[in-house]
Amino acid sequence: GGGSELYRAIVRGMGAAAADAAVALLKDHSAMEIINGHIIPALGRVGEEFEKKRIFLPQLLMSAGAATAAFGQVRATMKDGCGTKGRIILATVRGDIHDIGKNIVKLLLENYGYEVIDLGRDVSCETILKSTQDHNVRLVGLSALMTTTLPAMEQTIKVLRQNLPDCRIMVGGAVLTGEYAKSIGADYFAPDAAGAVRIAEEVFGQP
């Protein structure tokens, strides 16, 4: 983990090097090992440095780009599931453009055989509601990474509840806790992508 070439390439914001390092790791590591052991810790480090004002937005952007480049290599090796176990909507809420975590959740859900309709990032509650209705979706996953976008998440849950009382809602993202998720009316919270899969298995009744 900590000192790997991939980790350092992401921290330094070197996209091509990060992609190469990911390809090298794929020879003897699984996709989730690389994501959980290298990509996520590196982004955590970058976040800390940003918070302490030791790096600034341009470097944060470069690191995010490097993480996305590495993720692209990892994703290419995972085969798409056939999407028969259930249909799930994923979105990052209005005002929030962080989507690396959501994309990891999507990758794993698809790999476990779920069909994911990815609405992207900065998505309004109207769009999420309409898409959930149009596609007759039973499980919606919302992501938010900032304290400032938690109200948008709460609003989205409210709108979904009012219009689609049978729809289940799971939430995630670095700023969330299980307790907070409950307080804004979510049915489920998970701290990572594997947790999202467990929630899906519960909602869709698979072991």
Binding residues vs ligand B12 (CB under 6 A): 40, 43-44, 46-47, 50-51, 57, 60-61, 64, 95-102, 104-105, 141-143, 145-148, 170-175, 190-193, 195-196
What is the nearest approach in angstroms of ligand B12 to the Cβ of residue 37?
A: 12
133 vs 148 by CB, closer to ligand B12: 148
What is the nearest approach in angstroms of ligand B12 to the Cβ of residue 47?
A: 2
The SS3 assignment for 118 reads: strand
DSSP 8-state secondary structure symbol assigned to residue 37: I
What is the nearest approach in angstroms of ligand B12 to the Cβ of residue 50?
A: 5
SS3 content of the chain, % helix, strand, coil (to 5): 55, 10, 30
76 vs 97 by CB, closer to ligand B12: 97
What is the nearest approach in angstroms of ligand B12 to the Cβ of residue 180?
A: 12
83 vs 195 by CB, closer to ligand B12: 195
DSSP 46-97: HHHHHHTTSS-HHHHHHHHHHHHHHHHHHHHHSPPP---S-EEEEEEBTT--
17 vs 150 by CB, closer to ligand B12: 150
Q: Is 39 exposed, middle or buried (0-12, 13-18, 19+ CB in 10 A)?
A: buried
